[in-house]
Structure 1
Amino acid sequence: MAEVKGLIAIGASTGGPRALQHILSQFPPSFPAALFVVQHMPHTFTRPFAERLNNLCALQVVEAVHGERVLGGKVYVSPGNRHLTVAQKGKDLRVALDDGNLVSGHKPSVDQLFLSFKSVRHLPVALVLLTGMGKDGANGMKQVKEANPAVVTLAQDASSCIVFGMPKAAIEAGCVDEVLPLASMADKIVEIVDGWDTEGGENLE
């Protein structure tokens, strides 16, 4: 793990655990981005889920802890009963967990995670929506894309989704750069990250 060179946020619901395992297990140990995952799942399952992914992936996968520093090559999985967001602390980004109300009918909410990237300008960002029921994530993706068109937005295609709800809502909102089958998603994310240089965006004062 090292200095973070970019941020990737992934949202998923029904069918998400298998899709996330497929994607995250393909990233190399030298992967320089930090990844944030919201999977709709009861809180008793998120820590074992993170531990399972950690055993299957080259990257370190953890259940997110409030206040910890964001590092490249690390995957932060939201606890199943708290919102996961990022917060700027000086020159560092920190994990922030919020015990607030449901957002878009969920806690954790993909919308809440995505919206926390709205003001990030010093690092490149990619937002990804995977298989899932409902619309969580579409509004957040749309707002972030409108605030910063440089943000890359991806959605899983209908043919590879268990439930084509969340990606479909984002596609219909007109905020998705590229729609991809699950089999191509990891390679696309690696390609995007490889294209990020160390500057990444506008440096914050």
Structure 2
Amino acid sequence: MQHPTWTSKVVKHADVAPGDLLNHPDNVTIHTAEQQEDMVRMFRKIGWAASVLVSVKTGRIIDGHMRVAAALNAGASTVPVDYVDLTEAEERKALLYLKRMTTLAGIDRVNLADVLEQVSTLDADIAAMADAFARSSGLLRAQKLMADRETPQYMDVTIGEFTFQITWPEYVHWRLGMQDICKTRKKTLLAEIYVRLGLPKPTDDIK
């Protein structure tokens, strides 16, 4: 098997004064005030977890405009920078690719719920950020709808000749996972369930 030979465009790393970095005129991303507040919370609680990408030729920011803006507003003396060697045409491509990758990414609501449960809610900043994330992903609404119902302890699930009894949390976790995989289309969801049980796929006349 021939391995790809991808070229690294990163040429150096440095700690740079945020005021020395230039916003890219072709930047396509607009950040909300809430996003900027979340970024500041992350800096306070964790610190820098990713370097800003900057073109070594033009000094323009390729990725990290909001991080640099937050650092400027907070009066930070330096920010970590990875310099990349790109032509101006490559800069514009990188701006689009980096933005497109984040917009195409989906949210695994099952894993998100697990992570949010593990994050300490005793910390007001982290709790606020987790709440915002849950709201934006639709998870909070789903949790509220389930909480408003009378919650059973167990669920009977019948598929073909098989009947299973599982706990309510197990049922919710399984259902959300299946919905995320199958995009909630009923026939697709049912077909996936049969496949996972090792049964023949259901016929098209199954409602």
Q: Fold conserved (TM > 0.5)?
A: no
TM tier, smaller: under 0.3
Q: Report the TM-score, using the length of structure 2 for normalisation.
A: 0.26
Larger radius of gyration: 2
Which structure is higher in strand share?
A: 1
Q: Report the TM-score, using the length of structure 1 for normalisation.
A: 0.26
Which structure is higher in helix share?
A: 2
